[in-house]
A and B are shown apart, each in its own frame.
Chain A
Amino acid sequence: MSSTPSLIAIGNDSLRESFGKALSALADEFPKVVVLDADLAGGTGVHHFRKSHPERLLQFGIAEQNMMAAAGGLAATGLVPVVTTFAVFCLRAIEQARLSLAYARRNAKIVASHPGLDVGPDGGSAQALEDLAAFRAIPGMTVISPADPIEMAKATRAMLEFEGPVYMRTGRSPARRVFNDDHVFEIGKGQIVRDGSDLTIVACGVELARALDAAEELEKENISARVVNMATIKPIDGALLKRCAEETGAFVTAEDHNIYGGLGSAVAESLAASHPCPIEFVGVKDVFGASGEPEELAEQFGLTGPHIARAARAVLERKRKA
């Protein structure tokens, strides 16, 4: 188990900035990496890479479908393409990702900024709440959603070291720090970031910090909540889930995504096969997002710590009755 993290106040670093800086720092070590941009370098964080390695930043203009399939071509020549745009525009090019990246089993990476309600004021049009589900359904696609800037940087390295197609979510808004520098990130491995015995909260992305808020709130009511960071949504860490099921017997999942098809579904599918137990799903309840500040939206759509705590009480009720 990794060290219990304290919530290090609100950091000023967004996940996208952390990703962009990490990519730039890793560029010399991974000389085959090229970065693909569709007129959003300032938004996705890859302006850092453009500054340090301008000759390896390929500009595709506002044309995501061409960019996605061209990544397949670049990979076919032995380069390692990193496709960057907003999560919602990755959905636009998903068929290209399916055929030209995953089906052809290319070593290509897709890094999507601006996922979920975390997008904020741009509104429902721009808030991808379906991307984890959609990319998870593509055979051979690894799907990652790191939780904080430190994990983001480590996941960027892991993604480049990994052979095969990867879809990774970053984030728009300043992200809360959860981990210390000694945090270890491994694709396919979840980790217990706070131990507990009554139930397990499994979270990814911005929801991890909120899950820790919930655990704190629950502790005051003498509810002992375990919190698991599940940054890899696919392949899901089934062994860890099974162990948590055996040890705690109830789950809450939390994600900035539709409750259908994302982390919650992945956890449920895994537990259904290994150790069925009650689960409550925290996420956006099959509706589109809206304009507003990310924290306001999280409150309105039920993603904050208190909402996770409420789901925890509900699942404990079910566990008791079971």
Chain B
Amino acid sequence: MLSAELSTTLQDIAQTLGLESDQGKALSQFLAKGFPTSKWEEWKYTSLKDFNGIDRNWFPKGNSNLPVSADWAELIIRSSDAYLSIDKASSNDGIEVLSFDEFVQKCPEFQMIWANKNPILDQNSLYDLNVALCPQHTVIWIKKDVEIAQAILHQYQVNSTEKASSVQSRLLIYVEEGAKASLIEQQTSTGSADILSNFVQEIFVSKGAQFTYLKDQDFQQGVSHIDHTFIYQAEGSQVDTFTFSLNASLIRNNLHFYIDGPQVVSNLNGLYVPGENQLMDSHTVVDHRMPHAESNELYKGVLMGNATGVFNGKIFVRQDAQKTNAFQSCRNVLASTRATMNTKPQLEIWADDVKCSHGTTTGQLNEEALFYMRSRGISLAAARTLLLLAFVQEVINKVEHPVLRESLTEKIIAKIQQSVDLSN
């Protein structure tokens, strides 16, 4: 439950927003629930109980009580040699970045899609908080049949103030029929103050479109990042997600796939490497609603120091989703005796003609393998690093972009090496 003080502050904000407005209503819903604690089934290992007592700067860049739109949501889209700049892209009309209001004016047919989208499962209180405090989506609109060869770079950066603050951002991506694009999102922070970063993404991938979405989550210690990604896939589309969780005090990723058409392919890849005083929680849902679709999920974790990891993977195969192939695998290495990992695969199948499999493992590095390597002259630290690197490489190698593959590998090796050296 929220503390009395925080409750009063947020009630005042709700008044200002208008109790009957969508935002005001969302805030009232949040007020009724508060931040999730370990008593919430889906937040068992990721309690945000302390947040219920922290008054934050709820509008870090606004100077009134009224939230302003995307300019403080820190959506920065920059160009870089290795990636496509949005300016360059918009000049060929294949892609636009605009506000939600502008977008629905220019693309009225989207209103129908928006109105008819499947209801969000597990609508947790943080989603309400986001709706309340972030009135405007930023939209990335990828036009029909456009193929964007280079990856689009999205820099999601949260900035600290001296006080605890909360950054609420929302991104909508609309990939039109037959389009093909990939988005690389670098999630970072500046400074090391206590920041609650609450980021909602809604992604609509139309018929026959292909979309790759890669997140590189590398925050400063002090940041708690809650990520909600909802992906709606229409017939014959393919979506590949890559979630690399490198650093933050706390990362909670909610990734939901709605398979809304037949012949859909969904590939979910994840790698988390939490270290000392870090918690990383991956909650995924693959909701097979239509037949002849395929989902492949591969999540891996290396847990160092006193880190905590959580994996909860739900696969739903609805009655209409015959001929579904759904695979899930989650493998973890505890690279320290003080680290813990909690895994929970959850399959619910209502259709009868389906192929599903899942497996989760959590273990330590093989002592036999370590001795074998040492007997060849490889030091214990190097042997550990080599084994862990080989372990994470399976996920990294699936990244197509070579520059990115290299930079991820380097960052992850550095982190593993540091922790391995410390444990000697």
Q: Do A and B interact with each other, yes or no?
A: no
